[in-house]
Amino acid sequence: MLGKLFKHEMKETGKLLLPLDLILIAATCIAAFLVKMDFFMGTTLQIIPQIYMILYVLSIVALVVLTFIYLVIRYYKTMYSSQGYLTHTLPASTASILNAKLCSTLVWMLLLIILCVISISTIGFAGAGFPSVSEFDAIQRALSEIFGMGFIPILFLIVTAIIIFSLTMILMVYACLAIGQLFGQYRIPAAIVAYIVFYILQQIVSLITLISFGATTIDAIHASSQLFITTDLTSLYRNLIFLLTGESLCFGIAYYITSLWITKRKLNLE
């Protein structure tokens, strides 16, 4: 049932989001072409590429915001508004419905991140040229020296961190909406207040964690011999990513449990 729900979510959300992503691809091609060909350089029309690039940057920001807002609004309407009566009468558990919507939102957000990275990289390469094999190898060696790991493990670590951070961000909003729907006609204000409280709490915990981590690391470096200082500094970045990713995962689990429990036990549809 989870697969059917996920397929349905992707199909419905894709009606709007897929054309927006295709527009981003088309805008990227035009921007890369303008940067590469320099048609307007040295003429009175050379301001055209500059204006286009400004519009391109604004369009990426608008696309990210619009995508996230659309997915949040759809989640709220199909879960807690009058449309929720149809959603919660489906022959599926609350967990399956929540997981399908979560996976769908995550897929669209990750796809958008990938497209934005490819888009910006394409325009950058169009202007500066693609890096040579030697330059790419130098980048790999630099990253390996910084993190004390091979390039593939580093890439896996970064991708995993991005996925976990994205999931936590989505689940934080889901938890806020679940809490907000408990307050009747004040659903949206209550959800906003819940978001502010969760955000402040998460920042406080992160600050305490970073201070503790920094103090422990400094003590370890001072206690070690001069020979091992480089090793300690190299492991610092890797351990910091592990720490922040683990912290985000813990918050994500808490948000997921909150969303699932409230939706299952305290559902209050409009």
Helix (H, G, I), strand (E, B) or coil at 149: coil
Contact in structure between 81 and 269 (CB atoms under 8 Å): yes
Helix (H, G, I), strand (E, B) or coil at 220: helix
Average pLDDT over residues 235-240: 74
Q: Which amino acid is at 60?
A: I
Token pair, residue 240, equals: 């910091």
* Continuous H helices in the chain: 2-37, 47-80, 84-87, 94-128, 133-147, 151-180, 187-223, 229-265
**pLDDT in the model for residue 229:** 45
Q: Which amino acid is at 247?
A: E
Instruction: State the chain's mean pLDDT as an integer.
Output: 83
| Percentage with pLDDT > 90 across the chain | 33
Burial of 141 per CB tally in 10 Å (0-12, 13-18, 19+): exposed
Confidence of residue 41 (pLDDT cuts 50, 70, 90): low
CA–CA dist 7, 49 (Å, integer): 40
**pLDDT in the model for residue 174:** 95
pLDDT at residue 2 tops 90: no
pLDDT at residue 45 tops 80: no
CA–CA dist 243, 222 (Å, integer): 21
**What is the pTM assigned to this prediction?**
0.85
pLDDT digits (tens, 9 = 90+) for 177-230: 999 999 888 889 999 999 999 999 999 998 888 887 766 665 555 555 444 444
Neighbours of 79 (CB within 10 A): 23
In the block, tokens 């959603």 appear at: 87
**pLDDT in the model for residue 83:** 84
pLDDT digits (tens, 9 = 90+) for 87-138: 888 888 889 999 999 999 999 999 999 998 898 888 887 766 676 777 777 7
CA–CA dist 46, 39 (Å, integer): 8
Nearest to 108, CA basis, from 153, 25, 170: 170
114 or 33, greater pLDDT: 114
Token pair, residue 193, equals: 């207040």
Confidence of residue 268 (pLDDT cuts 50, 70, 90): confident
**pLDDT in the model for residue 227:** 45
